[in-house]
Amino acid sequence: MSEKKTMDHKEILSLLPHRYPFLFIDRVVDFSEEPPAIEAVKCFTLNEAFFQGHFPGEPVVPGVILIEALAQLGIIFFKSLKPEFKERLFFLAGVEKARFRRPVFPGDVAHLKLEGYQFRRNIIRTRGKVLVEEEIAAEAEIIAAIK
């Protein structure tokens, strides 16, 4: 990546409409316009609401939460690349080639990475992965519609 850029929680909140308990990006640790790429972290703690029911006695981050985290990072990514879309809403339009390779547990730090994107007629597509301890936990292509 070129020059390393980071974002704190205030910048993240200025780009995302999501709020706790449905905000899954803690910090952007690297962002590059050329080549387009972004990396963020999410620290999953035992007090996350979904752990109460998924699963009692064996808490695991639901796969859909990992996909949602990638989608939220995609919004930050695209709004950072194209500031003219900063005030627009993004809706998840599709998930393709999703794979879950290892469980994510309370206490894990998830590193979320997106690289590249395609943009046509208010539809954006990007590919990302979630890593824990340098192991791929999940990966998918994320498709969003911009309203």
The pLDDT score that the predictor gives to residue 3 is: 62
Instruction: Kindly state the average pLDDT of the residues 67-83.
Output: 97
Q: Which residues are catalytic?
A: 54
pLDDT per position as a tens digit, 10-63: 999 999 999 999 999 999 999 999 999 999 999 999 999 999 999 999 999 999
- The single-letter code of the amino acid at 108 is D
The pLDDT score that the predictor gives to residue 73 is: 98
Domains and CATH numbers, the chain: 9-146 (3.10.129.10)
- According to DSSP, the residues that pair with 27 across neighbouring strands are 41
Distance from C-alpha of 121 to C-alpha of 48, rounded to nearest angstrom: 36
- Give me the DSSP letters along 20-83: TTS----EEEEEEETTEEEEEEEE--TT-GGGGTS-TTS----HHHHHHHHHHHHHHHHHHH-G
pTM for the whole structure: 0.95
The Cβ of residue 144 has, within 10 Å, a number of other Cβ atoms equal to 22
Residue 1 pLDDT class (50, 70, 90 cuts): very low
